[in-house]
Amino acid sequence: MTSTTFKFLVLPLALAAACAAHAQSANPWSVRGGFTTITPNVSSGDLSAPSLPQTQSGIASSTRLGGGINYALSSNLSIDLPLAMPFKHDISGAGSIAGVGKIAEVKSLPFTLLAQWRFMQPSDKFRPYLGAGLTYAKFYDAKATSTLSALSGGTPSNPTTLSIQSKLAPTVQLGASMALNEHWFIDASYTYTLLKNRTTLSTGQTQDNTVNPSSLSLAVGYKF
């Protein structure tokens, strides 16, 4: 192979690779803001004795301002950090106490880190993606109502309190982004987290629940 032939074959490939790298590095960072709804898909366990048989609970969904930060490692692989304001969930009676209404409330703040595989190319207008990672589901500021206190044996002078276990759990994601121009885009995503945890009352009673929260996010983003 002559030197001229070698240059003829290699130089176009090198130029193409350089152009691709430049195109990717031009806007590796992006931020987005919008709304996120978390919906717990609860399968409730029974409250331990002493309690009525099948004393269970349900957790309501919550919507807050949400968004995130994304960094593209390559044309297809990126790291994503979803962000949101703390969520507030009402907890209601279920099973044998389904008619009692609200029994508690709790705040949650999921800390999630995802690796995403983005299909198509950075220059394409529409890009679906799949993600997988971990979520630390933080539950705090749980408050029992007088209804729960009465059901669990609490008194006005010594009302029942509760705590809900925070836990690390795997998360999967399905989403898509649509470019509006070189910098602005619309992003929608759905995540599902495999989460089981325990609620503990000050009376010593416990309840194990499968929570498995899903979240739906819609946001407008900007690429840097």
pLDDT value at 197 more than 90: yes
Question: What tokens does 8 get?
Answer: 């003829």
pLDDT of residue 110: 97
Question: What tokens does 186 get?
Answer: 């619309």
| Side-chain-side CA neighbours of residue 192 (13 Å) | 7
pLDDT one-digit tens code per residue, 99-124: 999 999 999 999 999 999 999 999 99
pLDDT of residue 155: 84
Average pLDDT of the chain? 90
Do 127 and 176 touch, CB atoms closer than 8 A?
yes
pLDDT of residue 206: 97
pLDDT one-digit tens code per residue, 148-190: 999 998 888 899 999 999 999 999 999 999 999 999 999 999 9
Q: Mean pLDDT check: name the lowest of 11-25, 115-129, 199-213.
A: 11-25
> At 26, is the pLDDT very low, low, confident or very high (cuts 50, 70, 90)?
low
pLDDT of residue 135: 98
| Residues 6+ positions from 38 with CB-CB distance below 8 Å | 61, 62, 63, 87, 89, 108, 110, 213, 214, 215
Q: Return the ∠ at Cα 112 (arms to 110 and 116), rounded to 5°.
A: 150
Query: What is the mean predicted confidence (pLDDT) over 15-41?
Result: 74
> At 27, is the pLDDT very low, low, confident or very high (cuts 50, 70, 90)?
confident
List the domains of the chain with CATH numbers. Answer: 29-223 (2.40.160.20)
Do 217 and 21 touch, CB atoms closer than 8 A?
no
pTM, rounded to two decimals? 0.86
Residue 100 identity (one-letter amino acid): V
Question: What tokens does 94 get?
Answer: 């279920």
Residue 59 identity (one-letter amino acid): I
The 3 state secondary structure assigned to 121-135 is CCCCCEEEEEEEEEE
